Amino acid sequence: MTKKSIAIADAPAPVGPYSQGIVANGFLYTAGFGPQDPQTGEIADNVGDQTRQVLRNIRAVLQAHGADMDDVVKSTVHLEHLHRDFDEYNRAYAEFFTEPFPVRTTVGSTLADILVEIDVVVALDQ
């Protein structure tokens, strides 16, 4: 199996030994992205705006490989305050996807000074 790493300036740089994205076996897998603006490092103070920035970060990685949000087949979402923030996050999330929607897992997690983190799996054209 071969793996190809994706590294771009239009998404937050890794802060550890991981890639922004990996392409392998017909899929693109992204890292779990937080809501940092890649140019300024700023983080919004509400879950809706944080969700939008996370998904813009993910979209940038996908576009670097010629994919888009319609190619996403699976997302995993971590919310710092699952019960409090779910509705606002869900409304923002829906702005980025069309039917058929990707499958999704959303869980409550302890996050490091952010409200949301998302990773996705993309099916690539063969």
**Those residues with Cβ within 8 angstroms of residue 101's Cβ, 6 or more apart along the chain or in another chain:** none
**What total number of domains does the chain contain?**
1
How confident is the model at residue 96, as a pLDDT? Answer: 98
Q: In the chain, at which residue ranges do the beta strands (DSSP E only) sit?
A: 4-6, 21-24, 27-30, 72-79, 103-108, 116-123
Which pTM was predicted?
0.96
Neighbours of 85 (CB within 10 A): 19
The side-by-side arrangement of strands in the sheet containing 116-123 is 4-6, 21-24, 27-30, 116-123, 72-79, 103-108
Per-residue model confidence as pLDDT tens for the chain (126 residues): 899 999 999 999 999 999 999 999 999 999 999 999 999 999 999 999 999 999 999 999 999 999 999 999 999 999 999 999 999 999 999 999 999 999 999 999 999 999 999 999 999 987
How confident is the model at residue 12, as a pLDDT? Answer: 94
What's the token pair of residue 107? 């869980």
Whether 124 contacts 61, CB under 8 Å:
no
Range of the domain at 98: 4-123
How confident is the model at residue 125, as a pLDDT? Answer: 85
How confident is the model at residue 1, as a pLDDT? Answer: 86
CATH number for the domain that contains residue 91: 3.30.1330.40
Question: CA 118, CA 44: separation in Å to the nearest integer?
Answer: 16
How confident is the model at residue 124, as a pLDDT? Answer: 94
What's the token pair of residue 27? 């899929």
**Phi, psi of 72, rounded to the nearest 5 degrees:** -70, 130
What's the token pair of residue 66? 């010629």
